[in-house]
Amino acid sequence: MRGMRRSMFIDGNTAAAYGVKLCKPDVICAYPITPQTPIVEHLAEFVARGELKAKYIPIEGEHSAMMATAAASATGVRVFTATSSQGLSYMQEGLFFASGYRLPIVMAVVNRSMGAPWTILAGHDDAIAQRDTGWIQVYCTRGQEILDMIIQAYRVAEDRRVMLPIMVCFEGFVVSHCYENVEVPGQEEVDDFLPPYDPPYKLDVDDPLIITTFAEADWWLGFKKLHDEAMEEAKKVIEEVDEEYAKRFGRRYGGLLGTYRCDDAKVVLITMGSLAITSRLIVDRFREQGVRLGLINLRVFRPFPRERLLKELEGVEAVCIVERNCSPGGYGGAVFNELRSTLYSSGLRPLILDYITGMGGRDVTPRELEEMVAHAVKSWREGRVEREVTWVFGRRKV
C-alpha cells in the first residue's frame, strides 16, 4: 500500500537525485559544477530513460539557470535546480528575484569554498554568503538526510504560509561523494505526503497577470516585511513537516535543530552539516569523563532558530561553536555572530568560543574536535575566555 521502499548504497549526490525524482518536478534546469555535477547527470539520465516526466533544460550558466528556473516556477509548476560555490554566487541576482517573487524553488547547494584561493572542496562559506537573499537554508549531515530533506523542502516551500525558495545544503565530497545505505521511500507514500503543487498565482494566458512589476517606494519595504513574516512562519512549518515526515517515514531530524544529550548539559557544542556526526562521538567521550557536554546541530540557518536556541541554551554555561565559514574582518563566523546577537536581549550569558575550520576541504578530525572542545571546557572551568575566535588550520600532527 505504501509502495516499495528500497535500500540503496549510494552517495549524497545520488540521494539528492532520487529525492528529486520522487517529488516529480516538471522542470529541471541546472548548470553542472563540481561537486554538484552528479546530481544533474543523474536527473538528466532519469529524464532520458523516461523514468521522470520532466522538462530538462541544459543551460549555458548559473545566472540563466536561476532565471529560467524562476520563470518556470512562475508558470505554476514544480521545479528543481542545483549548484555549488562559484555557481551559487553567479546566480546571486537571480536568488533575490526568486525569493522576492515568492517562488517555491528547491535548490540543492553542494557546499564548496569560494575562490580565491582556488578550491573545489568543502566549506559552508558559499551558502553563508547568500544568507540575506531571502532563501530558507537547511544544512544536511548525510545522504539519507539529503533525500528526506529534498522531499520535505517541497512541502515547506509550497506551504501557503511560506511560499519561499529553499536551499538544501550539504558539504562537497565529504557528504556529496560519501556512500552510505539510503532508504529510498516508495513513490505512492511520497505522493501521499507531497501532493501536486497548487500555486496561489501563476503566469497563465487565460488569466493574465503581471508578477512582480515595479513596487512603489511606499510599499517596497512592505513586501520585504511580508517576506520576513513568511520566514518566521517557515519556522513553524519546518517543525510540523519534520513531525509528519517522522510519522510517515520513521526518520526525525528535529526540525530547526538536532540535539544530542543536551538535557542537562553545561557545555554545548554547536555545529552545522556533517560535523554533527563526528561531534556525537566527541560528546560521548566527554560524557564518559564526567563533562556534561551536549550537541546542537544547527540544521536551519535561515530562518535563524532564535527561540529554539534560547530554549536549548537555558542553563548552559559555555558554548563551543565549530563552523566552516568565515568573514574576514567580521570577528568570528556567522553562527558565532548570530548566536551572540540572539543572546544579547535574553539575559543568558554563556561563554562563547568560536572555532573556524574545515574550509577549503580541510578535514576536521575527531582528535581535533576533541582538542577544540577541551579548550572550550578549560575556559569554562576557569570561568573566562582568553581567545574567543580560534582559527584551526594547517597540517595535522601525526
Binding site for another protein (CB under 8 A): 100-102, 163, 200-201, 207-216, 218-219, 222-223, 225-227, 230
Q: Considering the complex, what minimum distance in angstroms separates the CB of residue 134 from another protein?
A: 11
Q: Considering the complex, what minimum distance in angstroms separates the CB of residue 164 from another protein?
A: 9
Nearer to another protein, 116 or 210 (CB): 210
Nearer to another protein, 230 or 373 (CB): 230
Nearer to another protein, 97 or 304 (CB): 97
Written as nine digits, the cell of 132 is: 540575506
Q: How far is CA 44 from the centre of its chain?
A: 24
Question: Is there a cis peptide before residue 303, judged by omega within 30 degrees of 0?
Answer: yes
Could you give the C-alpha distances from 349 to 55, 137, 313, in angstroms and in order? 53, 27, 10
Nearer to another protein, 163 or 335 (CB): 163
Nearer to another protein, 20 or 70 (CB): 70
Q: Considering the complex, what minimum distance in angstroms separates the CB of residue 157 from another protein?
A: 13
Q: Considering the complex, what minimum distance in angstroms separates the CB of residue 165 from another protein?
A: 12
3-state SS assignment for residue 137: strand
Q: Considering the complex, what minimum distance in angstroms separates the CB of residue 92 from another protein?
A: 19
CA–CA–CA angle 333, 334, 339 (5° rounding): 105
Nearer to another protein, 55 or 160 (CB): 160
3-state SS assignment for residue 158: helix
3-state SS assignment for residue 32: coil
Q: Considering the complex, what minimum distance in angstroms separates the CB of residue 215 from another protein?
A: 5
Residue with cell 520576513: 228
Pairing of strands 6-11, 179-184: antiparallel
DSSP letter string, 322-345: EES---TTSSS-HHHHHHHHHHHT
